[in-house]
Amino acid sequence: MAKLETEVNVNSISRISAGTVIKGEIVSPYDIRIDGAFEGKVQSKGRVVVGEKAHIQGDIICGNIDLWGKVEGNVFVKDTLALKEGCTVNGNLHVKRLSVELGSTFNGNCRMITEAEFDKIAGVEAAKEQKQPAPVRAN
């Protein structure tokens, strides 16, 4: 009997390494791993991994998230949010499923949402992106 193995293309995983500081916005259909510092909004259709030394200031919208580091902002998750031992979240959680390990810290409100509610939230965010005016270029 043949085994079905999921192949992960390392080129389809974006990574912000420890020591790196980025301000702005990330939008990706693939997985993202953040080990550095990021200020802004993170939006991924895949999994977001926030490493032990990572610090994110801003909202995260994603399919799944494993959180070991620090997040200051709201988190919107289509499926599962895993708060790992040692993590800190200061913000509101909007999730379908929540896993909390002993030793994690969460300050905010938690609301369980359906996939339809998530799709509505993600759709609103996508619409905001499309409505932004084009930058003006100087000649």
Task: Enter the pTM of the model.
Answer: 0.81
Domain count, the chain: 1
Rounded CA separation 81/93 (Å): 9
Domain assignment present for residue 85? The answer is: yes
Going by pLDDT thresholds of 50, 70 and 90, the confidence category of residue 3 is very low
Q: Give the structural domain span for 51.
A: 14-117
pLDDT, tens digit, 9 for 90 and up, residues 23-82: 999 999 999 999 999 999 999 999 999 999 999 999 999 999 999 999 999 999 999 999
Going by pLDDT thresholds of 50, 70 and 90, the confidence category of residue 14 is confident
What is the number of other CB atoms lying within 10 angstroms of the CB of residue 88? Answer: 16
Beta strands 55-57 and 70-72 are: parallel
Rounded CA separation 19/17 (Å): 6
Query: pLDDT: is 134 or 51 the higher one?
Result: 51
Domain assignment present for residue 128? The answer is: no
Listed in sequence order, the residues at least 6 apart from 120 whose beta carbon sits closer than 8 Å to its beta carbon are none
Domain assignment present for residue 138? The answer is: no
Domain assignment present for residue 129? The answer is: no
Domain assignment present for residue 124? The answer is: no
Domain assignment present for residue 19? The answer is: yes
Domain assignment present for residue 5? The answer is: no
Rounded CA separation 58/43 (Å): 11
Pick from 6, 43, 11: nearest CA to 28: 43
Domain assignment present for residue 48? The answer is: yes
